[in-house]
Amino acid sequence: MNSIETYPQSTAVASIAMAALFGPESGERSRRDLAPGATLIPDWLTLQQQAWIVRQFYDWIRGPVPIRAAKVRGHEMSVRTVCLGWHWQPYKYTREAGDVNGAHVLGFPDWMVRLGRYALREAGYDPAVVDAYTPDTALVNYYDAAARLGIHQDKDESCLAPVVSLSVGDSCIFRFGNTTTRGKPYTDLLLGSGDLFVFGGPSRLAYHGVTKVHGHSAPEGCGLDQGRINITMRMTGLEG
C-alpha cells in the first residue's frame, strides 16, 4: 500500500494523455441539481481517468512546494493541500508559498482548463459562461480517514466564476448548504470516486464542507489505495 509520500514516479505525459482521457464524450451523464448553479454528476470520471489524475497528484506533491496542512486561526487543518497556479493560505492567494518554504508554486496546467470547461458544459452552464471559464488555481486536498473540512464559503477569490470539484479515492459525506448561514438548510451528499460537483451562479457562495470520510472505500483501479483526493479549480480574478 502506497503512502502519499512514497508513490513511484509517474511516467504520464500530461499534454498527450489529457486529449485521450478527457474528451468531450467522457463521463457518466446522470446528474442531480441541488440548487441553481449547483450540480452533482456521479461517476463522471472513468477509473482510467481517475488513476491518471492520481499520477499527476504524486508529481505535484514532489514539486517545489510540498503538500502541507494549512493553519487557520492558529489551528492546523486535518486536510493536507498542494496548490497549482496560485498558492492558497488563509485567507489569500500568492505566487510564492510564504507559509511553507517560500518557493514559487507550480503552474496551472492547460489540460485542467479544458477539463473545467467540459465540466461546466456537462453541468448545463450557458455556453458563454463555459467559453469564458479560465480557472487559474486549484486547491488539491488529500484526506485521510480522520480528516474533515469545516463548513465554510469559498470567498478568497475576487472572481465568482463557478468552482469545479473532482473527487478520487475514498467516498465522503459532503455537506452543501445555503449562502447565508452555516446551519440549515443543507443537504448531505455521498461523494464517491470519480464524482463531479459544480457550484456557481446563485450557489457560488454556498457554505459547504466534509463531515466524514469513509476509509477504505476507494474502488479498485482508481489509482489510490487509501484516502481521498479532491481537486477544486477556481478563477481567482488576480493578475501577476
Digit-coded pLDDT (tens) for 83-127: 999 999 999 999 999 999 999 999 999 999 999 999 999 999 999
Cα four-point dihedral sign 172, 66, 119, 46: negative
* Local confidence band at 74 (pLDDT 50, 70, 90 cut-offs): confident
Residues 161, 199: Cα–Cα separation, whole Å: 9
Q: Is 57 left (phi over 0), alpha (psi -120 to 50) or beta?
A: alpha
- Determine the topology of domain 29-234 in CATH: Jelly Rolls (2.60.120)
Q: Name residue 83's beta-bridge partners.
A: 139
Neighbours of 214 (CB within 10 A): 15
Taking the whole predicted model, whether its pTM rises above 0.85 is answered as yes
Q: In the chain, what are the domain boundaries?
A: 29-234
How far does CA 146 lie from the centroid of its chain? 19
Q: Is 194 left (phi over 0), alpha (psi -120 to 50) or beta?
A: left
